[in-house]
Amino acid sequence: MPDVPLDVVERLRAICLALPEAYEENAWTGVRWCVRKRTFAHVLTIDETGPDAYARFIATEGEVTVVTFRAPGDELEAFVQAGPPYFVARWGRDVVGLELRDDTDWDELAELLTDSFCVLAPHKLVARVQLPGSPPGPA
């Protein structure tokens, strides 16, 4: 499998590690970010030899970098309707993928990854989350 571009990992790292008690580790391929041993974001680069579980959702040929994350149940249908560059994975009830492209909206992606963290994190950690674009809460 091709390596994930370092600039992509660094951008995702900045978003994910800003969340309380989030940590990073190497995944079976690519890099993932977890909270309490649960993966809330995973980035990998695939090509035509990559796993069918990803490749069948991606229309682009050649190398493609994909980030997967969790979505609250009420948002899944929106991702189904959105279509590319989004896809709803079939290996988890709430896993969504996004093909990272030159026109990816990184502010929106930060919100999606924060939501993903909130889906999996304990309530006491979610209460400490600063949502992207919202004013800071009381100290």
Fold of 6-126: Aspartate Aminotransferase, domain 1 (3.90.1150)
Average pLDDT over every residue of 111-130: 93
What are 46-56's pLDDT values in tens digits? 876 555 555 55
Domain residue spans of the chain = 6-126
Query: Is residue 135 over pLDDT 80?
Result: no
pTM: 0.86
Q: What number of other Cβ atoms are within 10 A of residue 45's Cβ? A: 18
Structure-derived torsion over alpha carbons of residues 115, 1, 90, 119, reported in degrees to the nearest 10: -20
The size of the chain, in residues, is: 139
DSSP string, 97-121: EEEE-TT--HHHHHHHHHHHHHHHS
Q: Which two tokens stand for residue 91?
A: 């290996």
Picking from 78, 43, 47, the residue whose alpha carbon sits closest to that of residue 63 is: 47
Where b means 16+ CB within 10 Å and e means fewer, 2-28 reads bebeeebbebbbebbeebeebeeeeee
